[in-house]
Structure 1
Amino acid sequence: MVQCLSHRVELAFKDAMKKAPLYSKVYSLMDELFKFYHKSAKQSAGLKSSFEALNITPCTPTRVGGTRWLGHTLTALNNIWKGYTAIVKHLSQVSVTTGQSATQPKALYLLKLLRSNDVITFAHFLTDVVAVLAQLSKALQKRETCLYEVHQQLLATISNIKKFQTRPGPELRKVQRPDGSFAGESLTGDTTQHSAQMPKLLTALVETLDRRFSDIDEGVLCATKLADMNAWPASLEDSTNG
């Protein structure tokens, strides 16, 4: 059952992402970056050289999807931020190098996404959101997790998600610069789409989590709350007043 509950978190996330068209661009960025370097030893070697030239520890793009999907998504996003400068440097070289007709269009496409203010800002916001959900998913995968704890963890997760509506998370703050740059790279455009889609996504995510976990507040599953000593009244008087 714990694994089933963990899967619900991913389904709730995927449901909510339908409210944010920018997500498709962020997913494309993660997926295409992985394919660009994973499928070509030449490009992989070129990226490694960029890391060495910048004296940065190599951190190549990783795949997104598969089992433990939220965890893979979080890793893919974090690896992009760690290797952002080297990735942009290498793609810039590929985009102007003659004799690479097959890869130049892809390099230009990826550079466009990596330099888009809307895409990069939304991707940082997404990193904060996925980090919260991945933590919940990981907790639900533990064998020792009791069903009554799911109530607590779900409420804590929803509370943290709601906080993003009024306060940016740690990753989003990194890209909210007055000069519109990130990691020394000037970003193009504004964040109009991000600003419009972020609140809708957060609202949708709370709703989808409530819907996917609605049965834990019904019948026998709801009764497991009794095992949570913190939910008990401090005294008989408190119980009567409640």
Structure 2
Amino acid sequence: MSFRTYSTICVLEEAKGLDVGVNYRNDKAVASFTKAFATVVQRTTVEKLKNTQFCSFTIDGSTDFTGDDLENIYIRTVHSGRVEDTFLHIGCAESGSSKNIHEHVKEVFAKLHITDEMQSKLVGFTADGAANMQGHKTGLATLLKAEWPHLVATHCLAHRLELAFKDAVKLTNINMYENSMTLLIGLYYLYHKSPKQKKALQRAFVMMDFKASIMPTRIGWTRWLPHLDRSLSAFVKGYRVLVYQLQTSSHDNAKAEGFAKLATDGFLILYLLQLKAVVSMLMRLSKYLQKQEVSLADAYSRVAVTMKGLVTLKSGKMSTDTLNDLVAINLEAPSLAQFNPDDAIMEWMTSSTGRRLGYSRKRKVPEDESQVTDMTAPGPSTSDEGEATSDMVSDKEDLQDCSDDEMNEEVVYHMLKSFD
């Protein structure tokens, strides 16, 4: 918000009955107020730095609306075992080279009168993996180590996760991934830039009894994985309506026709469902790594748990028929609130795999009576019918549903669970 709106805000506050006075109601006054507040806040930051034994700093680039490159600097300190990340400074270096950024950092330290503190307490540095930051010959980390030989330079964990995901995608099916991104990005811009298409989609949601319109969302913002996860969730939840509206508009809109073909490609849909399961886990890891209080030890444990979860996604097998059933239920069935299970229950009871009413699984009585802890508790029957073990079906045999076509059952299970 521009400082020039301050005078208008004062007028609105007066209309509410607040006495704001007659002086200091222009943009120059609010600029001086802001400077005073910032000075007080910076004093608190400097005091934190003086009261800690060790510190590190994080630097990352950003761009303002004019296109100028800005460098954000944060200080990490520890007080009584509590880790704190505190904003220190944002400003422009002369250029994006490591040398000029290094000079900019030292100027900031001198401006805030913390050069001596940083000289004796700085032990760590974190940035993204750009060459001007982590370069082995002339990167900022190398220039800092020339002055602080003990400095530990760390590649930002959240950035490394993004790069690892992109590398993994390139090693799998890059064409399918690119088609998926083309579909998600194209749907966002189709409805974001065309009011006509947007209103048509909203009417389709109302016609199909959705409580709210689930519009396609944008991917590729600053937190890339969380935005991709949100975009995939919106696509899957609104899939039926999106396909209906795209097919309806395809008669007079070439873009809608192309997106309708992609959205009805069975192989692409299966890929998106699998991608959603993987991205959901990585998204939670990404958000965790961005927390202020996270340490390298915490991050290592969380990464190990996530890796175990990803391995679990590969451990199941599923027949093509079962996969087809799950995808059909997820994409075409009505919502849980509108679903009537009576027909499905009757279909199951009359099928060859259904069970009669009152059926309960019979369990064997332990041969060694010492294994029974409570003889008075109700247990399995020992009648002749109970001894007919040939009619029993083990849990493993009852749940087995595999074929030569390998597919991840856990992927679809977690995906269905997250879309309820």
TM bin, normalised by shorter chain, reads 0.5 to 0.7
Structure 2 matches for 1:1-242, cutoff 5 A? 1=126, 4-19=156-171, 20-21=173-174, 22-56=176-210, 57-96=212-251, 100=252, 104-167=253-316, 176-178=323-325, 181=328, 183-184=331-332
Instruction: Give the match's secondary structure for 1:66.
Output: coil
**CA displacement at 1:167 relative to structure 2:** 2.8
**CA displacement at 1:178 relative to structure 2:** 4.1
Unaligned 5+ segments in structure 1 are 186-194, 200-242
Instruction: Give the match's secondary structure for 2:324.
Output: coil
**Partners in 1 of 2:239 and 2:169 — Cα distance?**
24
Judging changes above 3 Å, is the alpha-carbon distance between structure 1 residues 94 and 159 closer, same or farther for their aligned structure 2 residues? Answer: same
Judging changes above 3 Å, is the alpha-carbon distance between structure 1 residues 2 and 161 closer, same or farther for their aligned structure 2 residues? Answer: farther
Judging changes above 3 Å, is the alpha-carbon distance between structure 1 residues 153 and 179 closer, same or farther for their aligned structure 2 residues? Answer: closer
Judging changes above 3 Å, is the alpha-carbon distance between structure 1 residues 136 and 147 closer, same or farther for their aligned structure 2 residues? Answer: same
**Partners in 2 of 1:60 and 1:179 — Cα distance?**
24
**CA displacement at 1:105 relative to structure 2:** 1.8
Tell me which residue corresponds to 1:235: none
Instruction: Give the match's secondary structure for 2:238.
Output: helix
Tell me which residue corresponds to 2:366: none
Instruction: Give the match's secondary structure for 1:143.
Output: coil
**Partners in 1 of 2:326 and 2:301 — Cα distance?**
41
TM-score by length of 2: 0.40
Amino acid at match of 2:331: A
**Partners in 2 of 1:62 and 1:151 — Cα distance?**
31
| Count of aligned positions | 178
**Partners in 1 of 2:242 and 2:327 — Cα distance?**
19
Which one has a bigger Cα radius of gyration? 2
| Greater relative contact order structure (CA < 8 Å, 6+ sep) | 1
Q: Which digits, 9 at most, give the CA deviation of each residue in 1:44-89, with x for residues without a partner?
A: 0000000010111201000110200000000000001111111111
**Partners in 2 of 1:106 and 1:167 — Cα distance?**
38
Amino acid at match of 1:157: T
Unaligned 5+ segments in structure 2 are 1-125, 129-155, 334-404, 409-420
TM-score by length of 1: 0.68
Q: Report percent identity of matched pairs.
A: 33
**Partners in 1 of 2:326 and 2:277 — Cα distance?**
22
**CA displacement at 1:139 relative to structure 2:** 0.5
**CA displacement at 1:16 relative to structure 2:** 0.9
Amino acid at match of 1:18: K
Greater share of helix: 1
Greater share of strand: 2
**Partners in 1 of 2:159 and 2:326 — Cα distance?**
40
Instruction: Give the match's secondary structure for 2:259.
Output: helix
Cα RMSD over matched residues?
Answer: 2.5
Amino acid at match of 1:132: M
